[in-house]
């Protein structure tokens, strides 16, 4: 079930703090993360798998790279799944040591391969080209390989990654030959990895992927290569709708670990959850600027648009919305919740029943922690918003809101245009 929040005198509470007071103190739009929920989510998934076998959780930090949130996960013992040199360096700054980070890039440049290898971070190779180039840059480097399992899963076509013909990974018919070539090149081969997509709610695609990985691991063993780990990637979904069922991670853990321990001698499983850990820990708060009846439709116009949260516009994703300062009040009519961007496609929610909205109300957009701030932009020259962390009834700023002036800091007007 989707996460529920406490209501106190008609006010939505987040981590013991009222949403309205956060909006008043820090301004809107603002992302608000509940520290204890992050910790609970991490412990739940790590505990589900680690009771069966040695399991390393590598948080897929592309979901959310705020330094304070990374520090929380570093304290919990998490590792990192990074997809760019920027993410690698951000996680090092947050306190992760290189041995706790795995780099899984796609279409990687020689420059980035050198930067990552110079930092001592394990590289999960995505292609034969990348392997051959890394052999010249960092001979004998510790690596694993991302393979294309031919199994895809996800909340939409744009986030399915493991299907046949995907841009990611080594095609199935090339995997064994690639490992043989890697051995000849002298690489320190550590593991095998696959990722099927983002936001999957069914265990079946994960078990299908694992069958593929186990079969390949057996063939690779015949080459005299003993793998240390199998990396199942991420993609474990969370419920975005009130009555939506959540993934049974206990059952998933039992099925996956049984397959590995019964069919291979590999001792370690790596998981790369991002959404599962951070998604429901965070709410986007946005203030109502305008309420409009357009005849055929009613609108609640807010100060957050697809520049702040792009998922509804980009993926047609559903995010539950509520009026945080009228929490639990009876709903009276349907509204589209829309933003300030000069585009028809700028919306946060369609056809939602809400209590009578008025200017100044606070709209809470649920499940905003994953791919919320990390995908936000300056479109329409709107500054990036603030981020706040709540814990034990206290709210702390963990990212200042950007100013308009800060958007100009890297722009240069040539002298000839100043005359």
- Annotated active-site positions, please? 342
The DSSP letter of residue 155 is S
Residues forming a β-bridge with 396: 389
Q: How far apart are CA 242 and CA 402, in angstroms?
A: 33
Assess contact for 89 and 70: CB atoms under 8 A: no
Assess contact for 305 and 368: CB atoms under 8 A: no
Assess contact for 14 and 392: CB atoms under 8 A: no
| DSSP-derived 3-state class of residue 85 | helix
Buried b (16+ CB within 10 A) or exposed e, 67-78: ebbbebbbebeb
Assess contact for 339 and 385: CB atoms under 8 A: no
Q: How far apart are CA 235 and CA 211, in angstroms?
A: 17
Query: For the chain, how big is the Rg over CA atoms in Å?
Result: 23
The DSSP letter of residue 408 is G
The DSSP letter of residue 52 is T
The DSSP letter of residue 91 is H
Nearest to 4, CA basis, from 243, 355, 286: 243
Burial class (CB in 10 A: 0-12, 13-18, 19+), 107: exposed
């Amino acid at each position: 079930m989707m996460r529920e929040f406490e209501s106190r005198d008609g006010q939505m509470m987040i981590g013991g703090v009222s949403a309205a007071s956060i909006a008043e103190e820090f301004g809107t739009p603002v992302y608000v993360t509940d520290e204890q929920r992050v910790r609970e989510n991490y412990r739940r998934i790590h505990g589900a798998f680690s009771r069966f076998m040695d399991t390393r959780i590598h948080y897929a930090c592309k979901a959310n790279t705020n330094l304070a949130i990374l520090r929380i996960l570093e304290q919990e013992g998490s590792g990192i799944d990074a997809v760019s040199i920027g993410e690698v360096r951000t996680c090092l700054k947050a306190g992760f040591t290189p041995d706790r980070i795995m780099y899984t890039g796609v279409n990687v440049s020689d420059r980035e391969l050198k930067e990552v290898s110079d930092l001592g971070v394990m590289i999960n190779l995505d292609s034969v080209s990348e392997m051959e180039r890394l052999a010249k840059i960092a001979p004998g480097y510790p690596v694993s390989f991302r393979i294309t399992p031919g199994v895809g899963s996800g909340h939409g076509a744009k986030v399915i990654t493991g299907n046949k013909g995907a841009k990611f990974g080594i095609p199935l018919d090339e995997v064994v030959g690639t490992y043989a070539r890697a051995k000849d090149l002298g690489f320190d081969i550590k593991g095998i990895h696959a990722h099927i997509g983002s936001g999957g709610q069914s265990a079946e695609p994960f078990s299908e992927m694992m069958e593929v990985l186990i079969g390949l691991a057996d063939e690779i063993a015949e080459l005299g290569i003993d793998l240390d780990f199998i990396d199942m990637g991420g993609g474990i979904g969370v419920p975005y709708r009130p009555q939506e069922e959540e993934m049974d991670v206990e059952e998933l853990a039992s099925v996956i670990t049984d397959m590995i321990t019964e069919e291979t001698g590999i001792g370690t499983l790596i998981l790369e959850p991002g959404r599962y850990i951070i998604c429901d820990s965070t709410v986007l708060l946005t203030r109502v600027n305008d309420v409009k009846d357009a005849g055929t439709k009613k609108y609640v116009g807010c100060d957050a648009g697809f520049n702040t949260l792009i998922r509804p516009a980009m993926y047609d994703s559903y995010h539950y919305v509520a009026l945080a300062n009228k929490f639990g009040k009876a709903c009276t009519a349907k509204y589209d919740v829309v933003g300030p961007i000069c585009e028809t496609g700028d919306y946060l929610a369609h056809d939602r029943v809400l209590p009578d909205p008025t200017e100044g109300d606070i709209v809470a957009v649920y499940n905003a922690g994953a791919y919320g701030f990390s995908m936000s932009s300056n479109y329409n020259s709107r500054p990036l918003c603030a981020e706040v962390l709540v814990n034990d009834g206290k709210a702390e700023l963990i990212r200042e809101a950007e100013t308009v002036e800060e958007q100009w800091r890297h722009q240069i007007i040539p002298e000839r245009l100043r005359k």
